[in-house]
Amino acid sequence: MGISKILVVGATGYLGPFITAASVRLGHPTFALVRPATARPDSSKKELIESFKASGITILEGDIQDHESLVAALKQVDVVISTVGGAQLRDQLKLITAIKEVGHITRFLPSEFGNDPERSVRLKPTDAVFQGKVKIRNAIKAAGIPYTFVNSNSFASYFLASLGQRDLTTPPRDKLTILGDGNAKVIFNSEEDIGTFTIKAVDDPRTLNKQLLIRPEPNIKSINEAVLLWENKIGHNLEKTYVPESEVLKQIEGIPFPNNISLAISYSVMVKGDQYFEPGPDDVDASELYPDVKYTTVDEYLNRYL
């Protein structure tokens, strides 16, 4: 089999552009399924669409809700990667139906790209998200569709750039709040690296019907360790406020949607340490499979903010 043709569903969302960029960079003929409204010249995503075209990505107009457009798009590719957001997770059942109908898709990577939904604590705000991901996993297996699940852990631009502060986009230089005792291991990965490792896996027989764990050893850090790295870079200590686990749980119950979801995810990641687990027989480590990938370490990533 030659190099696969890849379709990205959700290409104009948050992670989609990183996945499509990696696909093109690694030499795959790349297609993006884009809603007709998004493809219009007056769309808010106009510049992104134009950049896709300039890089050689083929734009296919369609919608995950439109079966005919899905089938037409799938007929042109070998691999499907979904990066749809949480609100559309269950809509991937329609994608599974279309993949099953077409019959020739060699790999489907559903929208996971975060915690393992079967190894993460479920609170009321996140239960629907994790349940939705598990439902899609089960539907893929039941349909006999070849798959790879990508466990990408924490997006660096969200968790690391802010050092876990929900109201910041850059590391604080004076004070910060730390959930729990700050010692739970978190796995931080740049979005660019998530894209690279994901595309590396699509044609690899070692990742067939497996979960790809993106967890480079230098990127496994507690918040306390990440903060210490940052303090050493800026030359002074930060004032730290630690929020006990019981108080974090009270806050999750007391704040409205969607902030309760982001705090519940932060609780899973930074208090319970759900990203750091012993790999099982169906897990494969991206760093071991692809030692040639020059990924960005936590230390290097923080240098962006100096």
Q: How far is CA 22 from CA 18, 132, 171, 179, in A?
A: 6, 27, 27, 34
Strands (E), the chain: 6-9, 30-34, 58-61, 79-82, 107-109, 148-151, 154-155, 175-179, 185-189, 210-213, 220-222, 239-243, 283-285
φ, ψ dihedrals at 90, nearest 5°? -70, -20
Strands (E), 160-238: 175-179, 185-189, 210-213, 220-222
Q: Tell me if residue 53 is catalytic.
A: no
How is residue 47 written in tokens? 């510049």
Query: Pick from 98, 130, 126: which is nearest to 111 by CA?
Result: 130
Give the β-pairing of 58-61 and 154-155. Answer: unpaired
Question: Tokens 């297609």 correspond to what residue?
Answer: 31
Q: Is 184 helix (H, G, I), strand (E, B) or coil?
A: coil
Query: Pick from 76, 26, 96: which is nearest to 55 by CA?
Result: 26
Q: Considering 45, 133, 200, 210, which one is annotated as catalytic?
A: 133
How is residue 116 written in tokens? 């393992």
Q: How far apart are CA 76 and CA 236, in angstroms?
A: 55
List active site positions. Answer: 133
